[in-house]
């Protein structure tokens, strides 16, 4: 009654294999703008205070995801990391938090200005990041790193 036909099994396995082989990875799904954004960052902008410019691809993807103006996420990140943007108790940022703030921005000045005005108004830095980061990106979360 429930006998499985070898031909049916092989057909199912073939279809699954085909679908798996052509599954689009996140790296393949990058828009032209996101790819251009990555070119503006990799080997050009330091991700840490030691001047390292070789980024892990995941971090570039996170920073560039949703970008419509390729230079802006990198400019925002660079200004936050090196431009003395105060987050409350200081101006030395953890790179993960700078990525969270600047991810996908199409206007680095507006993003930074938003953050600074929230901090000036007494908002905690974690909340200010959430309030000022690009709202249209689907990967936003609150995974910030304690900067104290």
Indicate the domain borders of the chain: 31-132
User: For residue 5, what pLDDT is reported?
Assistant: 55
Q: What is the pLDDT of residue 97?
A: 97
What pLDDT was estimated at residue 22?
37
Rounded to whole angstroms, the Cα distance separating 31 from 38 reads: 11
8 Å CB contact between 63 and 56: no
Nearest to 51 by CA among 101, 102, 95, 108: 95
| The predicted structure's pLDDT at residue 89 | 84
CA distances, 50 to each of 35, 54, 144 (Å): 25, 11, 21
> Degrees (nearest 5) of the Cα angle 104, 125, 88?
125
Q: Which residues of the chain have pLDDT under 50?
A: 1-2, 6, 8-28, 136-142, 144, 147-148
pTM of the entire structure?
A: 0.72
State the distance between the two ends of the chain, measured CA to CA, in whole angstroms: 67
Phi, psi of 13, rounded to the nearest 5 degrees? -65, -40
What contacts 26, CB < 8 A, 6 or more positions away? Answer: 61
Query: How many CB atoms sit inside 10 A of residue 26's CB?
Result: 11
User: Using one digit for the tens of pLDDT, what is the confidence trace for 79-120?
Assistant: 999 988 999 888 999 999 999 999 999 999 999 999 999 999
Q: Which two three-digit tokens encode residue 56?
A: 């892990």
Contact 142, 130 (CB under 8 A): yes
């Amino acid at each position: 009654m429930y006998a499985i036909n070898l031909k049916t099994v092989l057909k199912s396995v073939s279809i699954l294999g085909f679908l798996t082989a052509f599954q689009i990875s996140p790296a393949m799904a990058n828009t032209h703008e996101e790819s251009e954004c990555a070119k503006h960052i990799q080997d050009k902008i330091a991700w840490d205070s030691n001047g390292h410019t070789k980024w892990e691809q995941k971090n570039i993807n996170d920073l560039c995801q949703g970008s419509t103006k390729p230079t802006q996420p990198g400019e925002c990140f660079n200004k936050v990391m090196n431009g003395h943007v105060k987050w409350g108790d200081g101006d030395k940022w953890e790179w993960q938090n700078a990525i969270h703030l600047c991810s996908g921005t199409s206007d680095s000045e507006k993003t930074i200005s938003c953050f600074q005005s929230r901090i000036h108004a007494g908002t905690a830095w974690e909340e200010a990041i959430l309030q000022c980061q690009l709202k249209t990106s689907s990967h936003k979360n609150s995974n910030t790193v304690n900067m104290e």
